[in-house]
Amino acid sequence: MTQHLASEAGQFTICVNCIAPESILTENNLNRIPEQIQKSMIEWHPIKRLGTPEDITEAALFLASDNSSWITGVILDISGGAVMV
């Protein structure tokens, strides 16, 4: 869907991208996921930590900036490398 929308919107100089987060430690998740499970989840990630809301924010700000004006139709996995494993 991202690529289709990007191909349709491109003629209007609109970039379309998708952010795909994984294991983000939001305040809700900190309270809901027991600490032991959080520790085991960390082991799934090559970076050896879980994501933060700030990780997602930084990616969104980059994609919304002029620095990404040549990027369209991509799915940005923000996963600490977990999707590689």
CATH number of the domain where residue 54 is located: 3.40.50.720
Q: How far is Cα 63 from Cα 26, in angstroms, rounded to an integer?
A: 21
Read off the pTM: 0.86
Residue 84 lies in a domain: no
List of residues 6+ apart from 14 with CB closer than 8 A: none
Q: Each residue of 8-24: pLDDT tens digit?
A: 999 999 999 999 999 89
For residue 14, the enclosing domain spans: 2-79
Distance (Å, whole) CA 5 – CA 24: 26
Within a domain: 71: yes
Q: Is residue 74 part of a domain?
A: yes
pLDDT for 31-85, tens place per residue? 999 999 999 999 989 999 999 999 999 999 999 999 999 999 999 999 999 887 5
85 within some domain: no
The tally of domains found in the chain comes to: 1
pLDDT of residue 13: 96
